[in-house]
């Protein structure tokens, strides 16, 4: 099992593979059931994962946070919980509100849903264009000082926003999207995080399942599947991605691991990357991902993966708030 990694300078230790708890909210993922969600959360802990990432807006009524409490409440001291505030639902449309009052109220509601007395890592989910970033930072600093949260994170921030926020409230973790095909942070936020000892917790390490290699070229997406709206899942980009996966498959076979584990292992070995957040809605998915922590890619394999990425070429794609 891979050694635990520290969140910033907090002393809070987490596994390099975490369970992302957006899918169990059932908002964009299909075929989500409470029984499967509870079993997935339990399987994650049983297979060595101690870090769970959720948010106030994961679910129209906080379903994700409530499920964590139901599944893992008796194991609270074994796990580290990250949540986020500043985004909520109104008429099933996401709304940003990062005012001090709202961040305080949402944190308190998250604590109730999670049935806990503290949130280990609490992020501003995204900057609010209608609220000064300094106000949001001061609000989270207040929650930190009160003991309701143990550390502060920033999600979906630009480099300038990170620096501005950090000047008011110390940031221990930054959460962007990042994967083999979406590496924009390497030339901007990532060097800043390394310099300032800020942990980087990346979402979409498998690019919403694409890099797991289980979607064939002729895959037909369900009309309710949220991935249909992303360019990476259609047309020329889809074909290029399938060609890329064909380059990776022999490397996974040589290592005798599932393709998803190859991709995740590469990710958590990247300089400055602390944790890969793996969304899951069924036990088998999180068990496969947890297996990533039991082995390590060789330098030769990493070099061959990097060559495959170079062959794939530049990607024109945009992440979304998640």
58 catalytically annotated: yes
Alpha-carbon gap, residue 48 to 294, rounded angstroms:
10
Residue of 58, 123, 174, 178 with catalytic role: 58
> Which residue, 166, 226, 176, 241, is CA-closest to 196?
166
DSSP 59: S
Integer Rg of the chain from CA: 19
Return phi, psi of residue 148, to 5°.
Answer: -70, -30
C-alpha–C-alpha distance, residues 292 and 287, integer Å: 9
Sequential DSSP letters for 154-222: EES--HHHHHHHHHHS---EEE-B-BTTB-GGGGTHHHHHHHTT-EEEEB-TTTTTGGGT-S-TT----
Beta-carbon contacts of residue 68 (< 8 Å; ≥ 6 apart): 21, 41, 52, 54, 81, 114
Q: Given the DSSP bridges, would you call strands 13-14 and 5-6 parallel, antiparallel or unpaired?
A: antiparallel
Report strand pairing: 17-20 vs 51-53.
parallel
Gap between the Cα atoms of 18 and 45, Å rounded: 10
Scanning the structure block, which residue is given the tokens 């024109």? 316
The answer to whether 127 and 136 have CB atoms below 8 angstroms apart is: yes
* Region for residue 26 given its phi and psi (left: phi exceeds 0; alpha: psi -120 to 50; beta: otherwise): left
The DSSP output letter for 318 is -
Write out the catalytic residue numbers. Answer: 58
């Amino acid at each position: 099992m891979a050694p635990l990694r520290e969140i910033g300078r907090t002393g809070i230790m987490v596994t390099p593979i975490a369970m992302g708890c957006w899918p169990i909210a059932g908002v964009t993922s299909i075929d989500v059931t409470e029984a499967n969600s509870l079993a997935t959360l339990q399987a994650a802990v049983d297979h060595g994962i101690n870090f769970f990432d959720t948010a106030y807006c994961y679910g129209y009524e906080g379903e994700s946070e409530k499920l964590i409490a139901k599944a893992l409440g008796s194991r609270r001291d074994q796990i580290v919980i990250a949540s986020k505030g500043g985004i909520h639902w109104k008429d099933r449309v996401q709304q940003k509100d990062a005012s001090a009052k709202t961040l305080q109220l949402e944190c308190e509601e998250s604590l109730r849903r999670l049935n806990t007395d503290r949130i280990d890592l609490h992020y501003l989910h995204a900057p609010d264009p209608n609220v000064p970033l300094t106000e949001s930072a001061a609000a989270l600093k207040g929650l930190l000082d009160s003991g309701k949260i143990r550390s502060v994170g920033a999600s979906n921030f630009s480099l300038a926003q990170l620096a501005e926020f950090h000047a008011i409230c110390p940031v221990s973790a930054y959460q962007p999207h990042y994967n083999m095909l979406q590496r924009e942070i390497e030339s901007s936020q990532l060097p800043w995080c390394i310099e300032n000892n800020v942990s980087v917790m990346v979402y979409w390490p498998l690019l919403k399942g694409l890099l797991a290699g289980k979607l064939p070229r002729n895959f037909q997406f369900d009309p309710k599947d949220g991935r249909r709206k992303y360019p990476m899942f259609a047309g020329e980009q889809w074909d290029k991605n399938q060609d890329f996966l064909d380059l990776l498959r022999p490397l996974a076979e040589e290592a005798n691991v599932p393709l998803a584990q190859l991709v995740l292992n590469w990710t958590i070995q990247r300089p400055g990357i602390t944790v890969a957040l793996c969304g899951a809605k069924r036990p088998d998915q999180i068990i496969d991902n947890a297996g990533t922590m039991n082995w390590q890619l060789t330098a030769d394999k990493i070099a061959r993966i990097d060559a495959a990425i170079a062959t794939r070429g530049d990607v024109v794609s945009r992440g979304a708030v998640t």
